[in-house]
Structure formats: structure tokens, C-alpha cells
């Protein structure tokens, strides 16, 4: 059920001859007219060897003080905790059977990549895990540290570091970081990165063998464009305009292929749906818009295969967009 605002908007558009079907068809034709380059497996992105996109940094720098406004720009992320925290907790408990009443994740080390102001870092810490949140935006890390400071339950469990994933990987490999992690979380992050190949490789390096990788992100479909970008950003103003670049979204099939090439086995993929009326999330069988993924690291073997990349044709690195 849509809100009155949505209803009036759609009614007005229909009276002007607006057609979602026609627009979707027109967009599909435009996409077919130019070859699509997938958001992760391109030689240009792989050559950069950095996950950081400077344009994305500018967006989040301007929002760094607003992370803990539950009615503001990040309201949908606050609400997403109702799904993503149990999703992470339950899948970790399926692997780690130790029983810690009240603190089910006690003894586990978790890395929260692109933690922002700590919206997901904190609840994982309250479940007993030792959580390190990293983000390249220093002001966001400052916001996260300040907010955690006032909760004594988080002291000694939650810490933050202003750095990139690849910088942390270098610390782990050099021994500066004490040890690898039991789990890596990247929630609503991969659609903002410059190089997903580097992201997947670094995740495999900082994880223990058998460790878990949790991702929530957005599929690249016509539906995700009209609802996740046009409606959410421009019409309903659920999130700030310009937050997402549809070309950087990735389908579950592409993401699974990328992770498997870096030593992971995908265990579970589930669709997620946001209701703008109730401002709540629910699980759904459809992955057409948002989805959550859990993968497990199988080996420490994967290395960047530059020779293979240079000899593989472009068809090896891209997949067609789903409608």
C-alpha cells in the first residue's frame, strides 16, 4: 500500500500520460544501445587497486554529522538494523556454536567496512563481538567515536579507524593489526566503491579461513532504477538526491561470481524490501531491488591474476543487466 503522497503523485503522472512501462522500455533500449560495463570486473577499475571513489567521499563527508538522526537522511539504514543484525547474528551462530548468554557473539572479531557513524557497528558490539569499524571519511569516524563514548557497554568492544579496506589489509599482512577477523560486514557499501575486485580480494585477506562475509546492496535492474533511485531519491526523498549511481549496482549473479573467484562460497542470498509508509524493512523472495548475501571464505589462496585478466576477453568480465 502506498502513502497518500505516492498515490497523488502516481495519479498526477497518469493523468499527464506518464507511463512507467514506456519509460522502462525506453531505458532498456538506451542501455542496449551502449554496451554495459559491469561495475566490478573491468580492467580500468582493477588497475586502480583502490576501493575509494573520491566523488563518493564528498557525498558522505557532507553527511558525516547526521548519522544518528533516526528521522533524517539515514532513517532507512537505522530501520535496516531490524533485518541485518539478526541476519549476521544467526548466520554466525550457525558456524560458531559457543554459548554466551546475553552476549551471543562474544569472542568473535568483526570488521565493519564503510561503517559510517557506527549504525551497525554498535549493535554488533552489544551482542558481545569485538568490532572494528573502518571508514575513509574521518568526520564519520569522529561521529562514531563520539556516539560510542557515551555507552559504557561498548567500551573495550567497539573501536574505529579512519582508513580504507586496502590499508587495513596491509596492516594485517604486516602484522600491525593483531589478527584476522571472524567476519567482515559491508552493508550498503559495495554500490559506492570504485573497485569491487580489490574489495573482494582484500576481504579474503583480512578474514580467517572459514570466516563469514556479509553484504547488503542493491541489484542492477530496471526496477531498482525507478524505485531505488528515481522514487527514493527524487520523488519521496527517502535518501538524499545523488546518493546512488545505478551503473555501480551489482546483481547477485555478478557478485557471487566475483566472490567465488576470490576464494568464497556463497551460502545464502535473500531479497529485502523497504516500505516507505511504515518505514520498515522485510524479507522477500525477490532480489530485484535490495538483497543480503552471506559467503564463507574457503581458502587463503586467491591472488590477483593479472596475466589472466590481460588475456581474458571482455565477455569474461561482464554480464548483462537484469530487467
Name residue 183's beta-bridge partners: 110, 212
Closest-CA residue to 92 (of 253, 256, 262, 207): 207
Q: Is residue 245 packed enough to be buried (19+ CB in 10 Å), middle (13-18) or exposed (0-12)? A: middle
Annotated binding-site residues for Mg(2+) read: 188, 191-192
Contacts of 214 (CB under 8 A, 6+ apart): 84, 87, 88, 91, 183, 184, 185, 186, 187, 292, 293, 294
Q: Residue ranges for the binding site for S-adenosyl-L-methionine?
A: 84, 114, 135, 187
Spatial separation of the C-alpha atoms in residues 22 and 31, rounded to whole Å: 14
Helices (H), ranges, 34-120: 43-48, 54-61, 75-95
133: β partners? 112, 160
Q: Is 302 helix (H, G, I), strand (E, B) or coil?
A: coil
Determine the Cα–Cα distance for residues 179 and 139; give it in Å rounded to an integer: 26
Instruction: Report angle CA 168, 169, 171 to the nearest 5 degrees.
Output: 65
**The C-alpha cell that represents 22 in the structure block:** 514506456
**In this structure, are residues 197 and 277 in contact, taking their beta carbons and an 8 Å threshold?**
no
- Contact in structure between 198 and 167 (CB atoms under 8 Å): no
Residue 197 sits at φ, ψ, to 5 deg, of: -65, -45
Query: Which residues carry a binding-site annotation?
Result: 84, 114, 135, 187-188, 191-192
**Which segments of the chain are extended strands (E)?**
109-113, 130-134, 158-161, 181-187, 207-218, 264-275, 280-284, 290-297
Amino acid at each position: 500500500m502506498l502513502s497518500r503522497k505516492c498515490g497523488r503523485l502516481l495519479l498526477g503522472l497518469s493523468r499527464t500520460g506518464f507511463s512507467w512501462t514506456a519509460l522502462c522500455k525506453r531505458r532498456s533500449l538506451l542501455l542496449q544501445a551502449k554496451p554495459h560495463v559491469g561495475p566490478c570486473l573491468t580492467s580500468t577499475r582493477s588497475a586502480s587497486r583502490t576501493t575509494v571513489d573520491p566523488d563518493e567521499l564528498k557525498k558522505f563527508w557532507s553527511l558525516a554529522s547526521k548519522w544518528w538522526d533516526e528521522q533524517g537522511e539515514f532513517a532507512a539504514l537505522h530501520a535496516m538494523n531490524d533485518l541485518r543484525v539478526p541476519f549476521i547474528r544467526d548466520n554466525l551462530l550457525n558456524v560458531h556454536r559457543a554459548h554466551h548468554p546475553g552476549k551471543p557473539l562474544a569472542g568473535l572479531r568483526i570488521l565493519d567496512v564503510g561503517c559510517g557513524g557506527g549504525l551497525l557497528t554498535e549493535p554488533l558490539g552489544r551482542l558481545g563481538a569485538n568490532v572494528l569499524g573502518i571508514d575513509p571519511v574521518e568526520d564519520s569516524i569522529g561521529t562514531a567515536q563520539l556516539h560510542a563514548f557515551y555507552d559504557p557497554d561498548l567500551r573495550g568492544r567497539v573501536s574505529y579507524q579512519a582508513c580504507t579496506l586496502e590499508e587495513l589489509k596491509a596492516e594485517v599482512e604486516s602484522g600491525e593489526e593483531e589478527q584476522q577477523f571472524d567476519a567482515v560486514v559491508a552493508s550498503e557499501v559495495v554500490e559506492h566503491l570504485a573497485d569491487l575486485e580489490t574489495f573482494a580480494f582484500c576481504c579474503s585477506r583480512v578474514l580467517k579461513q572459514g570466516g563469514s562475509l556479509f553484504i547488503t546492496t542493491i541489484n542492477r535492474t530496471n526496477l531498482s532504477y525507478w524505485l531505488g533511485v528515481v522514487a527514493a531519491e527524487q520523488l519521496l526523498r527517502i535518501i538524499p538526491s545523488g546518493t546512488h549511481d545505478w551503473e555501480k549496482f551489482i546483481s547477485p549473479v555478478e557478485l557471487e561470481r566475483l566472490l567465488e573467484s576470490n576464494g568464497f562460497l556463497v551460502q545464502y542470498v535473500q531479497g529485502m524490501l523497504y516500505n516507505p509508509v511504515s518505514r520498515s524493512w522485510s524479507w522477500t523472495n525477490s532480489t530485484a531491488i535490495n538483497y543480503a548475501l552471506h559467503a564463507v571464505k574457503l581458502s587463503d589462496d586467491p591472488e590477483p591474476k593479472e596475466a589472466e585478466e590481460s588475456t581474458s576477453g571482455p565477455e569474461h568480465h561482464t554480464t548483462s543487466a537484469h530487467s
